[in-house]
Structure 1
Amino acid sequence: MQTTPLSPEDPAQIGGFELLGRIGQGGMGQVYLGESPGGEPAAVKIIKPSVVDSTTRLRFAQEIEILKTVWGARIAQLLDADADAEQPWLATEYVEGPDLGKHVVTHGPLPALLVLSLGATLAEGLGYVHKQGLLHRDLKPANILLGPNGPKIIDFGLAVFAESSASLTAANTVVGTPSCMPPEQANGVKPLTSAVDVYALGTVLLFAATGHLPYHANNIHVLFHMVTDPATVPDLTGAPPELLPLLTAMLSHDAQDRPTITEVVQQCRGLVEVQGLKLAQARRRLTTYTAAPPQDFPTLLSVPVSEDTTPPPVPVVSDSATTPVHAEQPTEPVGTDEPASDTQPTMFLAAPQRAPQPEPPAQPASTTPVPQSTEDQQDGQNVPRRPHPSGRPPARSLRHSAQARRTAQQLREAYAARAAF
């Protein structure tokens, strides 16, 4: 996914961050690709003026405070923010990579080995979040970015403190993504426990392995009934046999029957080691796979090679067309007209919503190889990165200030030339 040009009503900068293009939008705000005065890329979220009120500011301020609290290599870090500005905004680390949902829709499910690597990495990241006494509450494929240094978790807009029963949500209103929501969260149980994130991670891993979520229905109320009904078992069709016991446990209807986040890490690690690999090797293969053509995956699953045979580094060529932006999605209320993602958007269940339509799969990319990254070579594999879909040489990254400013100006001029006003 590429950035789109700034529109005439978009600010050129906010909080010292120069805005270069639009990344995505939701019911509450717009996310931009920005650049700090020092040239650091950032994902900048700005709340729409039409929805700025005291409740929105309070919720946004809570998200900022939570982002100040969470830490770890698997979390997109907060750079700066101002909840009291005329237009509240926050800037987070920009992750160059697709979100899991779009990657699976475009290239198909991940092999079991890489799903296990993804599971261990994300579970460990969530473990650090839980150590801060926090819950994510809205883990879904669209909130997992597949960056060059491994997957990262984004969007803590619905995160809460685990022991808190307080809420900024109106009474009798449930927030979250229905198809990834555990039964107790869908039923409005408070306080929630870390088991809600274990369940949501199970839905993410199932989607990564099969391309579908545990429950699916065309009507949002039918979907909620399926999630909360103990007699309706999750759909694990297509899940690799070695993953079935773990997924079944993580998606248990009763929270006490699910493994802890630490047990998820241990089980994923054990299943990877049974295949003769270290977990670090499997993670490197996951990172390489998300940037390489799917048909090259057999190379990634070849017999493990000693990591002492690391070949000399080869320069990495960036690819703007297959380096999607940090698609952080603000919380969206039911009834918005925004396009549906690979899963239902985060929502406030206060009214029926049109059933989301699945995204059509993108056309397969060209298979022209390009140089591999140094980290990929450390696993002893000669695996090319995913090429540019058009076959043209990959574009340079927007990391350099001069080029970024020129590009931003060109985007604005292009938009103005096409505008009907």
Structure 2
Amino acid sequence: MQSLKATDPSQLGPYRLAGRLGAGGMGVVYLGVSLTADRFAIKVITPGLVGDDEFRERFAAEVEILKTVTGSRVARLERANLDDDPPWLAVMFVPGLSVHRQIEEAGPLETRSGAMLGALIVDGLRSVHEAGLVHRDLKPANIMLGPAGPIVIDFGLARLHERDSHVTATGQPVGTLAYMSPEQARGDRDLTAATDVYALGATLVYALTGHTVYGQASPVALLRRIDDPTDLPDTTGVPAELKSLVDGMLGYEPSTRPSLDEVYRRLVEVATADGVSVEVVRTILAEQTYVEESLELPDWTADPLVDDGDAFTDEEDPTRLVSAPPIREVLEVKTSEQPAPVADVGWLVDEMRTTYARKATL
């Protein structure tokens, strides 16, 4: 965690800011601490972009999405204030590493732990889908490894099924290339839960082997490979117990992929093979993957929390949304995961950089 700069606020809403967790051209992420010492990731738009209507609309849309998803396997929205200066939102802070960083630093998971990881991620995706959403950017960097297991994060690209026709332009791929389904690569608007099943399959390949399904290549080359039904995803190294399942999840046609329920059932079967209990496997997974990074907080004993007045009154919902016209979708293509900063919240910075970008190029 980096120290606050002289130009940074010391408080946003009811949260005292302890430092910077990350920053990019589009926004800043702070570690926020409540009066009762709860910690949250506080995200704001870069001051120079606060006056841009499109950025504010996208920020408001993200808050709306976050309000619809609940569950123990997703990063919840704590509260937000879109009328504050700058607008901000506070989300659940997970002190562990992302799956990407964990595998990068410690190597692939063994079969049983990888299967349990996948089953717990399915629980998170169920919460997303039950809210009528498709995540559209599930990947190792968007799964945090907390003390109780994985937490699905980053809903900047999530969309309600019925809204896809308004916000996504045909022919514009949206997502992260290394984990993008063929229908995403084509820029299809009508994405379904099968898109997230594909991304989970690609994520499991990385967690179990340390490599992606199409390797490193230019964005254009990757798009062509993903959309070529004869160029099969590389699942080399996936344990035999999981290979047929993972291969099915990475099927070219969405209709051929197994449902989340089927994926869940088969992952649990592998995780608990030979009579090993779920509790034991979860304990092993946590021991192998949870790394709590120490974050030293400032001494605030002589600096009482400022009263933010009526920012959160019973009469006024701080998470209410301003009405906005449909937002045009932009081309968002990311070719590789980036190493995360201390406290591993680079996903928020990456989201600010790509989700709110006016344009992106291949």
Q: 1:319 to 1:223 in 2, by over 3 A?
A: closer
Alignment of 1:270-349 (within 5 A): 270-291=269-290, 320=294, 324-329=343-348, 330-331=350-351
- Residues 33 and 42 in structure 1, CA contact (< 8 A), matched pair in contact too: yes
The 1:222–1:91 alpha-carbon spacing in structure 2 relative to 1, beyond 3 Å, is same
Describe the shift of the 1:197–1:112 C-alpha distance in structure 2 as closer, same or farther (beyond 3 A): same
Task: Name the SS of the counterpart of 2:287 in structure 1.
Answer: helix
TM-score relative to the length of structure 2: 0.81
Gaps of 5+ in 2: 296-340
Contact 2:272 2:281 in 1 (8 A): no
Aligned to 1:397: none
Evaluate the alpha carbon distance shift between residue 94 and residue 179 of structure 1 in structure 2; reply closer, same or farther with a 3 A threshold: same
**Which residue of 2 is the match for residue 399 of structure 1?**
none
The alignment covers a number of residue pairs equal to 315
Aligned to 1:46: 44
**8 Å Cα contact 1:45/1:89 also seen in 2:** yes
Alpha carbons of structure 1 residues 185 and 171: separation in structure 2 relative to 1, 3 Å: closer
1:141 aligned to 2:161? no
Q: How does 1:356-375 map to 2 (within 5 A)?
A: none
Matched, 1:232 2:240: no
| Structure 1 position 31 matched with structure 2 position 29 | yes
> Please, which of 4, 11, 14 is the counterpart of residue 13 of structure 1?
11
Q: Pick closer, same or farther for the CA change 1:232–1:93 going to 2, 3 Å.
A: same
Task: List gaps (5 residues or longer) in structure 1.
Answer: 293-317, 335-344, 353-421
What SS does structure 2 have at the residue aligned with 1:331? helix
Q: Secondary structure at the match of 2:351?
A: coil
1:129 alignment partner in structure 2: 128
Q: CA 1:230 to 1:113, structure 2 compared with 1: closer, same or farther past 3 Å? A: same
Question: Measured at CA, do residues 146 and 118 of structure 1 come closer, stay the same or move farther in structure 2, by a change above 3 Å?
Answer: same
What does 1:82-93 correspond to in 2, within 5 Å?
82-93=81-92
Structure-2 residue corresponding to 1:406: none
Correspondence for 2:328:
none
* 8 A contact 2:112–2:281 mirrored in 1: yes
Map 1:76-115 → 2, pairs under 5 A = 76-115=75-114
Partner of 1:351: 361
CA 1:171–1:48: 2 relative to 1, 3 Å: farther
Provide the alpha-carbon RMSD of the alignment. 2.3
| Amino acid in the other structure paired with 2:134 | L
Distance 1:348 1:111, change over 3 A: farther
Indicate conservation of the 8 Å contact 2:170/2:188, yes or no. no
Give 1:347 shift.
8.2
Aligned to 1:201: 200
Q: Percent identity?
A: 41
SS in 2 for 1:166: helix
Paired amino acid for 1:186:
A
Looking at CA atoms only, which structure, 1 or 2, has the larger radius of gyration? 1
